[in-house]
């Protein structure tokens, strides 16, 4: 993994996890950071459509990152658990994992992080944060909650701090 003076490119840097990772690396010294976003790119983040292959190749050619970090139904999961994406979003994440593992092999690390919570532009951006709105709603509105899934929430700041430590 990278050490000091590393060039770190973060995709999804306006998302819940990506923004926490971007902030944590900006606070750490010795790194050159580039944050990519699409629908919520503003300020320091570079607007890039990851579906545009030529645009992505341009960014990677210009920035030249050395390492790549990418951000089921049978918990708790272990490192040997077989992935089983249950929807298109999950499949797209799995496809990204496979592309990284194929391109970099043992030089890559894939983190599968469960339900996220923490600082977010909107509480509705995470399944856990949205509960804050539900709990504080005094309108008398009835909410339906599922009781069929066990979840293991993870704070995005903890993940971001871990990635910074892992990079040194």
* Confidence (pTM): 0.69
- Asked if 152 contacts 75 with a C-beta cutoff of 8 angstroms, the reply is yes
In 3-state terms the chain splits into helix, strand, coil percentages (rounded to 5) of: 40, 10, 50
Nearest to 32 by CA among 53, 57, 5, 14: 5
Backbone dihedral region for residue 130 (phi beyond 0: left; psi -120 to 50: alpha; all else: beta): alpha
CATH 1.10.101.10 fits 6-71+113-167, yes or no: no
Q: What is the pLDDT along the chain (168 residues), one digit of tens a residue?
A: 455 568 888 888 888 888 999 999 999 877 888 999 988 777 889 999 988 889 988 998 899 876 554 434 555 666 677 777 777 877 888 898 888 889 888 888 788 787 888 888 788 888 788 888 888 888 989 888 777 667 788 899 999 999 888 887
- Asked if 49 contacts 71 with a C-beta cutoff of 8 angstroms, the reply is no
């Amino acid at each position: 993994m990278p050490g000091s003076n590393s060039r770190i490119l973060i995709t999804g840097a306006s998302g819940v996890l990506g923004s926490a990772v971007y902030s944590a690396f900006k606070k750490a010294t010795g790194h050159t950071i580039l944050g990519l976003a699409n629908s919520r790119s503003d300020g320091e983040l570079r607007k890039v459509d990851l579906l545009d292959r030529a645009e992505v190749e341009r960014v990677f050619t210009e920035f030249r990152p050395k390492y790549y970090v990418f951000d089921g139904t049978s918990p708790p999961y272990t490192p040997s658990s077989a992935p089983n994406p249950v929807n298109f979003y999950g499949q797209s994440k799995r496809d990204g994992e496979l592309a990284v593992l194929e391109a970099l092999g043992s030089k890559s690390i894939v983190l599968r992080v469960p339900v996220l919570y923490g600082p977010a532009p909107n509480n509705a951006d995470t399944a856990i944060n949205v509960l804050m709105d539900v709990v504080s709603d005094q309108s008398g509105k009835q909410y339906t909650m599922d009781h069929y899934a066990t979840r293991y929430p993870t704070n995005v700041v903890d993940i971001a701090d871990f990635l910074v430590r892992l990079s040194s």
